[in-house]
Amino acid sequence: MTIKKIAKLAGVSIGTVDRVIHSRGRVSSETKKKVNEIIKKYKYKPNFFASSLSLSKSYTFGVLMPVTSQDSGYWAMPEKGIQNAYNELSIYNIHIKYFYFNKHDETSFKKAWKEMLASKINGIIIAPVFSSITKYYLISEMNINIPIVFFDSYIPEIKNIAFIGQDSYQSGILSAKLMKMLINEKEEIAVIRVVPDDYHINQRSNGFQHFFKNQNGYKVKLYDIFNGDNSEEFKLITRKVIEENKNLAGIFVTNASTHYIAKNIKAVTDKKISLIGYDLIQKNIYYLKEGIIDFLISQRPEHQGYQSVYALYRSIVLKKKLQKELMMPIDIITKENINYYIE
Amino acid sequence: MTIKKIAKLAGVSIGTVDRVIHSRGRVSSETKKKVNEIIKKYKYKPNFFASSLSLSKSYTFGVLMPVTSQDSGYWAMPEKGIQNAYNELSIYNIHIKYFYFNKHDETSFKKAWKEMLASKINGIIIAPVFSSITKYYLISEMNINIPIVFFDSYIPEIKNIAFIGQDSYQSGILSAKLMKMLINEKEEIAVIRVVPDDYHINQRSNGFQHFFKNQNGYKVKLYDIFNGDNSEEFKLITRKVIEENKNLAGIFVTNASTHYIAKNIKAVTDKKISLIGYDLIQKNIYYLKEGIIDFLISQRPEHQGYQSVYALYRSIVLKKKLQKELMMPIDIITKENINYYIE
DNA sequence: ATAGTTTGCGGTAACGGTAACGCATTATAA
DNA sequence: TTATAATGCGTTACCGTTACCGCAAACTAT
C-alpha cells in the first residue's frame, strides 16, 4: 500500500491523502473519512525510507554527563555505549552533542546545562548526578518540550521522564545477600558510602543495610566519603574501618571506587576481608581477578548509554511512545564470569 | 555530498558516478579514477534512505529452531527476541520465516531444513541442537552462500559462521563456584546432565566437574537424562540421586529442566539441598522465588534471538562484516535480582 | 455588490540513488 | 568489408513521501 494507491482508491489526489495522514486540515470531513477507512482497511504503513528521504531531517541529541575521567573512569563506559548507538544510527542523520561537566563543581554543571539548552537539539540525555539542581532546572524550565532521558541515576520527584538504569536499592539487597554467603555469623561488616548526597548511591547503601537489619547476629557500620576521586580519603578510611572493627569480615563499597579500598586492605591487614563493590572499571577488574574483590555489581553502563540514545531515536525518529523505565539487570560479576562482561 | 555533486565536480553524469560506485563497469579507468578521488576527498557516503527507497528491496531471514514448547518452554524466549528484532526492523522490509522442528525427532529437523532451503531466504538463523546432522548438512551443502548465524549452541568444527550464545564450559565453572559457596566441605554433589549428546549441555557439565576436580574433599557424581521433556524420568532420578548419596548437599542441573528436580526434592527429603540450574523459564523462576532453587544461570536467550536477527540485518542490509562471535554474559540469578531479568 | 478570506482539492517539484535504456564510438569476428 | 559485440557515457523514469503552489468555489465582511 502506498499513498498513490490510496489516492486512487479514494478518488482523490495524493496531496489530499497526505493532508489526511498528517492532519494538516483543508480536507472535507467526508473525504477524510473515506481516506481513513481505506488506510485502516489496507493497514497502510508509511514507507519509512521515502518519508525520511523526503524530510531529509537530521536530529541532534544532547548528552549531559560528567567528564569521563571521573569516578575512576566510570563515565567512559556509558559514553562508549552512546558512541556505539551513534555509529549505528548515524546513517539516519542522527548526531550527538556532548556537554560534559565536572561532578565536583556545580557551576560547571550549570554552565553545561545552559550551553545545551542554547544549542539546537531534539532530545536530551542526562546523568542527573546533581540531583537537586537538575530537579530545580527541570521544574522551573518545564517549557522544554523535547524528550528527556535520565540514565545512571534518577530523581524520584520528577515524573514523565524516561529512566534507564538500575534499581539501586535492590542491588544493595543483593550485595548484602552475597556478603552473607561470604562471611560467618556475628562478624562485622562496613559499608563505605561514597558521595552520600547522590540519591542513587544512597539507595544502594540503604538496600544493603536493610537486608542485614532482618538478619540476626551481624553488625553493619556505615562510613561516608565525600569525594570519590580522592585516593587519600580512601586510604584513611580503610585504616579507620579495619582498626575500628576488630572482627571485620566484609566491606561493601557503594560505587566504582572499590579498587581504592582493595588496594589499601593489603597494606593494613593480612586477614581476608570480603569485598563487594560496583562497576567494571579496569582497576576493579584487576582486583577482582586477584581475588581481593569478591563480587562486583555491574549496572551495564555501556548498555545504558546505548539504550538512552535508542530511546530518543525511537521516540523522535520513529515517533513511538517513549518507554518510561528501562531497568538494567543487576549483574553479579566474579572472577569466573568477568571475561564475558568485558569486550 | 551527493551523487549529483560528485558528477558535477568530475564533469560526468550521475549514471557514470553510479557505475563507478557499484563497479558496474563500462567506465574508462581515467574517469573511474577521477570519480573515486572526489569520493575519497569529500568522504562521500551514500544516502541510506535514498538507496533503500530506490532499491525497495525486501529481505527474508529463515529461522530454524525447536518448537517453542520444548525444553519446558525455553525456546519461546529466543523466539520472543527474534520477534522484537523483527518489530524494530520490519520498517526496513525485513521478514522472518520460521521453520520449527521437534528436537526429539531427527526427521522433523531434516524436513524443516529442506523446507527452509527451498524457500527464498537471504539469511539463516539456526539453533543447532542436532549438532551432527547440522554439521553434515553444512559441510555437504556448502554451496549455500548466504550468511548463517548459530545461536544457543554451536558446532566447533564448523568455521566461518557466526555464533551468538554463551560459553557453556565457563558457565559450568561459575556454577561450581557458586555451589561451593553454598555447601560445606566433604559433602556430595550430583550433576544431572540432560541430553548428553548436545555439545552445549556437555560443556556445562564438563566445566562444573573441572572446577571440583581441583578442589579437595568434594565428591561429584554424574547422572544422565535423555529426554528433557519427560517429567517421569526426573522423578526417578531425583529419588535415585538422593538415595545413592547420603551426604548429598547440592544438585547441578545442566539445562532448563531444573524445576523438575526442584519439584521432586521436596517429595523425597526434608533436607535442604542446594540447587543450581539454568534458564529463566516460569517454573524455574517459581522455585527460585520459593528458595528451592538457589541460583539460575541465564544465557539471555531473548537477547540471543534479538542479536541473531540484528547480525543478519547488519550483514545483509547494512553490508557490514558479520561478527564471528557474540558471547552472552553468564548471568547469575537469585531471588533478589530475578525481577530485573523478567519483563 | 465587491473585495477579501477560507476551504477543499489537484498538481508537482523536490529528496538522493538506482538501473534500464539508448546512442555513439571503437574493437572484433566472419 | 560488413555484421556484431563491447565500451563509454548521458538521459530518464522510477522508488514513496512531503510540502508548497495555485485554483476554484464557498463563505464573510464591509
Q: Which three cell numbers stand for residue B266?
A: 521436596
Task: Kindly indicate the confidence band of residue B195, based on its pLDDT and cuts at 50, 70 and 90.
Answer: confident
pLDDT at A37 over 70: yes
Helix then strand count (H, E) for chain B reads 14, 12
pLDDT for residue B142:
63
pLDDT at B159 over 80: no
Of A49-63, A79-93, A153-167, which range is least confident? Answer: A153-167
B window 18-77, beta carbon within 8 A of A? 45, 47-50, 52-53, 56
Mean pLDDT computed over B139-156: 83
Q: Give the gap in angstroms from C-alpha A185 to the nearest C-alpha of chain B.
A: 15
pLDDT for residue B154:
85
pLDDT digits (tens, 9 = 90+) for A173-220: 999 989 998 998 878 999 999 977 788 899 999 999 999 998 888 999
For residues A319 and A294, membership in a common domain is answered with no
Question: Is residue A138 domain-resident?
Answer: yes
For residues B34 and B73, membership in a common domain is answered with no
For residues B218 and B151, membership in a common domain is answered with no
pLDDT digits (tens, 9 = 90+) for B239-260: 999 999 999 999 999 999 999 9
- CATH number (domain holding residue B271): 3.40.50.2300
In angstroms, rounded to a whole number, what is the distance separating the alpha carbons of residues B285 and B259?
9
Strand D: which of residues 12-71 in chain A lie with Cβ below 7 A?
14-15, 18, 21-22, 44, 46-47, 50-51, 53-55
Q: Give the gap in angstroms from C-alpha B136 to the nearest C-alpha of chain A.
A: 30
For residues A130 and A219, membership in a common domain is answered with no
Task: Kindly indicate the confidence band of residue B340, based on its pLDDT and cuts at 50, 70 and 90.
Answer: confident
pLDDT at A93 over 80: yes
Mean pLDDT computed over A254-258: 96
Of A30-44, A72-86, B129-143, B215-229, which range is least confident? Answer: B129-143
pLDDT digits (tens, 9 = 90+) for B78-91: 999 999 999 999 98
pLDDT for residue A190:
98
Q: Percent of chain A scored above 70 by pLDDT? A: 99
Q: Which three cell numbers stand for residue A227?
A: 569525594
Pick from A295, A30, A147: nearest CA to B177: A295
pLDDT for residue A22:
93
Residues of B in contact with A52 (CB under 8 A): 49
Question: Is residue A134 domain-resident?
Answer: yes
Does A177 sit within 8 Å of B334, measured CB to CB? yes
Counting every residue, how long is chain A? Answer: 343
Q: Which three cell numbers stand for residue A137?
A: 532546572
For residues B79 and B174, membership in a common domain is answered with no
pLDDT for residue A320:
85
Of A231-240, B95-104, B176-185, B302-311, which range is least confident? Answer: B176-185
Pick from A292, A186, A215, A337: nearest CA to B178: A337
For residues A140 and A191, membership in a common domain is answered with no
Question: Is residue A283 domain-resident?
Answer: yes
For residues B67 and B144, membership in a common domain is answered with yes
For residues B321 and B208, membership in a common domain is answered with no
For residues A231 and A321, membership in a common domain is answered with no
Question: Is residue A342 domain-resident?
Answer: no
pLDDT at A91 over 80: yes
| Residue A185: strand, helix, or coil | coil
pLDDT digits (tens, 9 = 90+) for A275-284: 999 999 999 9
Mean pLDDT computed over B12-25: 94
Question: Is residue B96 domain-resident?
Answer: yes
How far CA B78 is from CA of B66, B68, B96, B316, B325, in Å, comes to 11, 9, 13, 21, 17
Q: How many domains does chain B have?
A: 3
Question: Is residue B335 domain-resident?
Answer: no
pLDDT for residue B320:
86
Q: Where are the beta strands (DSSP E) in chain B?
A: 59-66, 94-101, 123-126, 148-152, 162-165, 188-194, 219-225, 248-253, 274-278, 295-298, 325-327, 331-333
pLDDT for residue A7:
95
Question: Is residue A246 domain-resident?
Answer: yes
Task: Kindly indicate the confidence band of residue A138, based on its pLDDT and cuts at 50, 70 and 90.
Answer: confident
Nucleotides of C under 7 A from a protein CB: 7-12, 14-21
Helix (H) or strand (E) holding A97: strand A94-101
Average pLDDT, rounded, for chain A: 93
Of A128-137, A327-336, B170-179, B283-292, which range is least confident? Answer: A128-137
Name the residue facing A329 among B56, B173, B341 (closest C-beta).
B341
Phi, psi of A77 (to 5 degrees): -75, -55
Closest chain B CA to residue A45? B91
Q: Which three cell numbers stand for residue A255?
A: 560505587
Helix (H) or strand (E) holding B233: helix B231-244
In angstroms, rounded to a whole number, what is the distance separating the alpha carbons of residues A77 and B167?
24
Q: Within 10 Å of residue A41's Cβ, how many Cβ atoms?
A: 11
pLDDT digits (tens, 9 = 90+) for B27-81: 999 999 999 999 999 999 999 999 999 998 899 999 999 999 999 999 999 999 9
Residues of B in contact with A182 (CB under 8 A): 181
Range of the domain at A243: 168-298
For residues A159 and A305, membership in a common domain is answered with yes
Q: Which nucleotide is nearest to B24 (CA to C1')?
A: C19
Question: Is residue B66 domain-resident?
Answer: yes
pLDDT digits (tens, 9 = 90+) for A145-178: 789 999 999 888 887 789 999 999 999 999 998 9
Average pLDDT, rounded, for chain B: 93
pLDDT at A142 over 70: no
pLDDT for residue A105:
92
Mean pLDDT computed over A69-73: 94
Task: Kindly indicate the confidence band of residue A143, based on its pLDDT and cuts at 50, 70 and 90.
Answer: low
pLDDT at B197 over 80: no
For residues B312 and B234, membership in a common domain is answered with no
For residues A111 and A231, membership in a common domain is answered with no
pLDDT at B191 over 90: yes
